[in-house]
Structure 1
Amino acid sequence: MTFPFTANSLVKDIVNELPKTSDVFKKNRIDFCCGGNIRLSQAVSQHGLDIDVLLDELKVVFDKYINAEKDIEVWTDSDSNTIIDHVIQNYHRVSEEELRNLSPYVTKVSRVHGDNHPELLKVNELFFEFKKELIEHMEKEEAVVFPLIRQLEEGTVPNREEAIQMIIELEKEHDHAGEVLRQIREVTSDFALPLDACGTYRLVYARLEALEGLTFMHVHLENNILFPRYI
């Protein structure tokens, strides 16, 4: 897919099409919420920025998105070490970055709109529960379980049954993460936006839904392709 944004693109349209670009605008102090109805060239001019540099930053986000959307069925024929490396680079690192960047938006929306939309207080609670557990889960995968899987692949694992049991525990953690995401979707009525939703409110719902999709693909690679080779 060709990079779709130009200097004539509206800031709000860029964020609507690819919500993670909001991080680029926030870093460059460009208002993508209330002041987003202007062309990128105008926003650049207002802030004394370089249009080519900003477009390059937006393209980095776009390229990550395209890579994440590629058909992963190809991984069924890949060796386990390749899959593990792919998961770490394209799911662990990406999820860590998104959890870190999304956190202040979730907190802000719940603080500003929580009185009128109390479901946002629950979203805030569930999001930070999910964030804590997923980060711990990914750390355990990288520090303990993935090295064991590499040893299983090589036939050098010291205790095969213990290694398999740890893989089963990861699957249970996946189930719980999926349940938290289900609760977020339920409490937001499938990310339905109220009439008074501001740009940041919309951004949070769009990125939460994208995070859900990223997590489901992460779990799919492990539960349905990698783990069954050893369980």
Structure 2
Amino acid sequence: MSHHHSFPTESHETPLPERTVGSLVAERPGRSRIFQALGIDFCCKGGQTLRASCEQRGIALDGVLADLAAESAGRPALERNPAELPPAALAAYIVETHHDYLRRELPRLHAMAARVAKVHGGHTPSVAEVFAVFEQLFVELDSHLRKEEEILFPAIKAADASGATEWTLDGPVAQMIEEHDDAGEALARLRLLTNDYTPPVEACNTWRALFAGLEELETDLHRHIHLENHVLFPAALAMTARA
């Protein structure tokens, strides 16, 4: 299900409703909190305009625009915005921030998911399915991180350093975006299976910790995929197109 995400060139004069959700978050990462709270996907579907995203989810556009205005007025974007880094530095930031997070969290969550499925899966089949979906996601992400770190990111760094590359990045980038879409579908499935990460009243502490950890994983992966799909990859493709 590959659909190549082009990142339309937008000027800041473009009205907010007609700008893509991905570009709005690239400009101010704090906006991601607003979109997350509303269930607006700014990573895999970040190529949609704000207007289209609101219509699709039945959300009042005026309310979202008011939230965005409040976020802009409330505080300057003091946190370092990784979207402003050059491609090689952004790739390094993604590895240090998001890949390292996944390498720490995935084994921890896997152990908890296995335990909860074993103990409670008999009377709560959904937790057995949570484990199955998570295990598949774990395997796919492990392979995905290696491909980025061993093949794609070194090629981006080489192109960034020399302004040229011996091969086109279109194929590897399209493959990574397709894998991001698969990860996005797995996250959506986990959210559904866990009732928006809400443990039942009888849930033990491991069960509660698992659901909290999965919700954090979703938040981090959404930011991670957004930075790659809507900032790093378009910059890399534009760089190699000039070469």
Normalised by the length of structure 1, the TM-score is: 0.66
The C-alpha deviation readout for 1:39-68, integer Å capped at 9, x for no partner, is: xxxxxxxxxxxxxxxxxxxxxxxxxxxxxx
The C-alpha deviation readout for 1:49-107, integer Å capped at 9, x for no partner, is: xxxxxxxxxxxxxxxxxxxxx946x1222111111111111111110110112211111
Partners of 1:164 and 1:230 within 8 A in 2: no
- 2:146 is matched with 139
The reply on whether 1:171 has 2:192 as its aligned counterpart is: no
Q: Displacement of 1:112 after TM fit?
A: 0.7
Instruction: Tell me: higher relative CO, structure 1 or 2? Use CA pairs within 8 A at least 6 residues apart.
Output: 2
Structure 2's unaligned 5+ residue stretches are 1-77, 238-243
Q: Determine the C-alpha separation between the residues in 1 that align with 2:99 and 2:213.
A: 17
Q: Give the RMSD, CA atoms, in angstroms.
A: 1.4
Alignment identity in percent? 31
Q: Determine the C-alpha separation between the residues in 1 that align with 2:200 and 2:84.
A: 45
Which deviates more, 78-87 or 127-136? 78-87
Instruction: Write out the 4+ residue segments of structure 1 that deviate beyond 3 Å after TM superposition.
Output: none
- 2:121 is matched with 114
Amino acid at match of 2:122: D
Length, aligned pairs only: 159
- 2:166 is matched with 158
The reply on whether 1:213 has 2:219 as its aligned counterpart is: yes
Q: Determine the C-alpha separation between the residues in 2 that align with 1:221 and 1:159.
A: 23
Partners of 1:110 and 1:124 within 8 A in 2: yes
Partners of 2:83 and 2:90 within 8 A in 1: no
Q: Which of the numbers 224, 236, 241 marks the counterpart of 1:230? A: 236
- 1:104 is matched with 111
Amino acid at match of 1:123: V
Q: Determine the C-alpha separation between the residues in 2 that align with 1:75 and 1:220.
A: 11
Q: Determine the C-alpha separation between the residues in 2 that align with 1:71 and 1:220.
A: 17
Which of these two proteins has the greater Rg computed from alpha carbons? Answer: 1
The C-alpha deviation readout for 1:9-63, integer Å capped at 9, x for no partner, is: xxxxxxxxxxxxxxxxxxxxxxxxxxxxxxxxxxxxxxxxxxxxxxxxxxxxxxx
